[in-house]
Structure 1
Amino acid sequence: MLDYFFAQYNDYPVHEVYLELIAVFFGLCSVWFAKKDNILVFPTGLISTAIFAYLLWQWHLLGDSMINVYYFIMSIYGWYHWTRKNGDVQEFPISIMTRKNKVHAVIIFALTLVFVVFVYLYFNKFTSWYSYLDTLLTAIFFVGMWLMAKRKIENWIFWILGDVLSVPLYFAKGYTFTSIQYIVFTIIAIYGYLEWRKILNKTSQKL
């Protein structure tokens, strides 16, 4: 059983295995802090995404590599956005998407999809179902990260969908630790949505 799940690591450089484990650890920490609406989601996320951007490029998952570069940039923006206050009151608390946000989300999804398809075509990387799923996941996660930086509760819906689709992708590609990470991500994201919903309801009752 262990050979079935982890035999592929026999052919990997040792440093990549260690890097994957470190990235998984900080990735899990980041999602946990996001669930708790804790600002530490961003510094832990920066470490994880920087490592994964490198590893995914090495593994020829161009879309996911670009996702992590984008995550890195958006983590810096989100860190700033979440810390903004008007006196002692958070300027951007947890909220639901507005109509304008929805329009922007659709535009981000469409533009990301077109861009990643162009990249895959340019590098002639549409060689298996991995590539097509990777393209879709890039668009889903781009929207999810943007919504999280904006502190919109709907970000969890995109994370849940993307995490579920990522499990078979990484397992099929042979990256077992990362696949397991996405199983845990899915569970935390479900609880994250429920916890943010409670916070949002409490805030609404105070108004």
Structure 2
Amino acid sequence: MNTVEWAAAGLGLANIALLVRRSVWNFPFGMAMVALYFVVFREAKLYGEAGLQVFFFAAQIWGWALWVRAGGGESRVPVRRLGHFARLLWLTGTAALALNLGWVMHRFTDASLPYADSAIAGASIAAQILLGFRRIENWVLWIAIDLAAIGVYLYKELWPTAALYVLFLVMSVVGLREWIAAEKAEKAQEA
């Protein structure tokens, strides 16, 4: 299993590096990564994370189509922010999803860490959707997810994955900064 985990981690690095640059080519790497992580997480009895990979695979296809359309043939897509009310709705919906998924996994499965797993899964769903819509707030969620995931993966002794998420954390901070700068540059060009 270790070889599969290492391969998934390598693909993940390529995926996030391309996301930071707002490149539509992040999606093929993301699809390959999540396919491998499905196997890794299922074996670790992190069912929320495993199920999340199925969602991510479909979301990668959807996001790819959205980004290609939004980019208009450009290699980098434009980005935007959510409004204040939309942020509140996303936060409330994400918390409700995470709590309900945690209860289901606690009650009906032998999940190892049902509530931590579901919090990461629920927030990841929201972050992936926001990423598809090219909203800057996706990076804030990814930062929180990365912090939580590092703890879970260390506890589960998924060393390559924990190391990957440390790198994801750094790259998410860089991504947030890059996307904020890109939004400011886009607004300056429109003015």
Per the normalisation by structure 1, the TM-score is 0.83
SS at match of 1:93: coil
Q: Which residue of 1 aligns with 2:139?
A: 156
Using the alignment, how far apart are the partners of 1:86 and 1:154 within structure 2? 19
The structure-2 alpha-carbon separation of the partners of 1:169 and 1:88, relative to structure 1 and needing over 3 Å to count, comes to: closer
Which residue, 25, 29, 34 being the options, matches 1:44? 29
Q: Would the aligned equivalents of 1:113 and 1:138 in 2 still touch at CA under 8 Å?
A: no
Equivalences, count: 188
The structure-2 alpha-carbon separation of the partners of 1:87 and 1:33, relative to structure 1 and needing over 3 Å to count, comes to: closer
Residue 75 in structure 1 maps to residue 71 in structure 2: no
TM superposition shift of 1:87: 6.2
Using the alignment, how far apart are the partners of 1:188 and 1:179 within structure 2? 14
The structure-2 alpha-carbon separation of the partners of 1:60 and 1:110, relative to structure 1 and needing over 3 Å to count, comes to: same
Using the alignment, how far apart are the partners of 2:71 and 2:12 within structure 1? 30
Using the alignment, how far apart are the partners of 1:97 and 1:61 within structure 2? 31
Residue 118 in structure 1 maps to residue 104 in structure 2: yes
Identity %: 22
SS at match of 1:84: helix
The structure-2 alpha-carbon separation of the partners of 1:41 and 1:58, relative to structure 1 and needing over 3 Å to count, comes to: same
Deviates more, 1:173-182 or 1:77-86: 77-86
TM superposition shift of 1:178: 0.5
Using the alignment, how far apart are the partners of 1:171 and 1:188 within structure 2? 19
SS at match of 1:60: coil
Per the normalisation by structure 2, the TM-score is 0.89
TM superposition shift of 1:98: 3.2
Which residue, 81, 84, 88 being the options, matches 1:96? 81
RMSD between superposed Cα atoms in Å: 2.1
Using the alignment, how far apart are the partners of 2:130 and 2:38 within structure 1? 20
Residue 204 in structure 1 maps to residue 184 in structure 2: no
Using the alignment, how far apart are the partners of 1:45 and 1:206 within structure 2? 31
Deviates more, 1:131-140 or 1:28-37: 131-140
TM superposition shift of 1:17: 1.1
